Structure 1
Amino acid sequence: MAKYSNKINKIRTFALSLIFIGFAVMYAGIFFRTSPIIMTIFMVLGLLFIVASTVVYFWIGMLSTKTVQVICPGCGKQTKVLGRVDICMFCNEPLTLDPSLEGKEFDEKYNRKQKDGSQTRES
């Protein structure tokens, strides 16, 4: 079975990694102290990674306000569902709000849209 995680947590982890990448790029700029132009380029590039992280955190915060909050049947804690299928943030229980997907094997492809605009449905 593949390792799945909650979509909101995936995006937050990506934003956190952008911060660390930004600091690493800025730190790499210190090795070019003899060339102020190259050092400045590294510092600005690192700053851009950190600004991108801020934008991603803001975006997921806004998206998080539009999610549906449900009580997980597995652990009994309140969690958020983003899309047709998602995973509980606490116990990794597969969750769905679509009655046609109940009892089916969990697959993240249920959230993808097809080319004609409809969402994928498997019978």
Structure 2
Amino acid sequence: MALKYTSKINKIRTFALSLVFIGIVIMYLGLYFKASFTVMTIFMLVGFLATLSSAAVYIWIGMLSTKAVQVECPNCHKVTKVLGRVDACMFCKQPLTMDPSLEGIEFDEKYNQKKQPKEEG
């Protein structure tokens, strides 16, 4: 079974986009409570905060993206960005690593964690 990996930058951008739609849906649900001004206002504020937090996430990933290392993917030969020790190509989903000690090892996103679990043996 071939697993498809996604780059961390694309995951965070997808999360930010989903926050926009979630916020709009929450605000739209608030229109069903026109009879109760308080409930409608709460829905509108929560939806607005979700949409606003999306903008904050987009700003954060934009700043993080400027620090990412740009490499040429060995599979599709396009320039992509790598965050952390392991990541995936933004275009072809090829697993990539910047750590020479991880070359040839099965791709696992756990390699980006600060503390590596100790292997039993």
Global fold match (TM > 0.5): yes
| Alignment check: 8 A CA contact 2:4 2:93 kept | no
Q: 2:31 corresponds to which letter in structure 1?
A: I
| Alignment check: 8 A CA contact 1:85 1:111 kept | yes
| Alignment check: 8 A CA contact 1:8 1:64 kept | yes
Correspondence for 1:9: 10
SS at match of 1:60: helix
Aligned pairs, how many?
Answer: 118
- When normalised by structure 1's length, the TM-score is 0.91
Alpha-carbon offset, residue 37 of structure 1: 1.1
Alpha-carbon offset, residue 120 of structure 1: 6.3
Q: Deviations over 1:40-85 (max 9, x none)?
A: 1100110000011000000000000000000000000000000000
How do residues 50-65 of structure 1 correspond to structure 2 at under 5 angstroms?
A: 50-65=51-66
- Any stretches of 5+ residues in structure 1 without a counterpart? none
Q: 1:77 corresponds to which letter in structure 2?
A: K
Aligned-residue RMSD, C-alpha: 1.5
- Any stretches of 5+ residues in structure 2 without a counterpart? none
SS at match of 1:50: helix
% of aligned pairs identical? Answer: 66
Larger relative CO (CA 8 A, sep 6+): 1 or 2? 2
Q: 1:67 corresponds to which letter in structure 2?
A: A
